[in-house]
Amino acid sequence: MPSASFEVHQRLDCKGLNCPLPVLKTKKALDGMAPGQVLEMTATDPGSKPDMEAFSRRTGHELVQATEQNGVFTFYIRKAAAK
């Protein structure tokens, strides 16, 4: 577990799921959160790393931190302000 300097508001377990489910579930979870809140998403799909980076660039939700440990990827995504 990385030392996080931010508060995690919600957790989402996408371990074992394949493309496109981690991205779809992340989007759905963020839809139910308030701007500025942070979502922790865990996945085992190796494609989720580049995909979450692309998701962040495209949507504006900030990828605060991305780590990998023993094949488990952990992403911290901060919900963007409403457009």
We find the least distance from the C-beta atom of residue 81 to another protein, in angstroms, to be: 13
We find the least distance from the C-beta atom of residue 74 to another protein, in angstroms, to be: 19
- The residue among 16 and 71 lying less far from another protein, judged by its C-beta, is 16
- The residue among 4 and 21 lying less far from another protein, judged by its C-beta, is 21
Of 19, 24, 54, 72, which residue is the catalytic one?
A: 19
Which letter does DSSP use for residue 47 in this model? T
Please, which residues bridge with residue 44 across strands? none
Q: Is the peptide bond before 22 cis (omega within 30 degrees of 0)?
A: no
Q: Which residues form the catalytic set?
A: 19
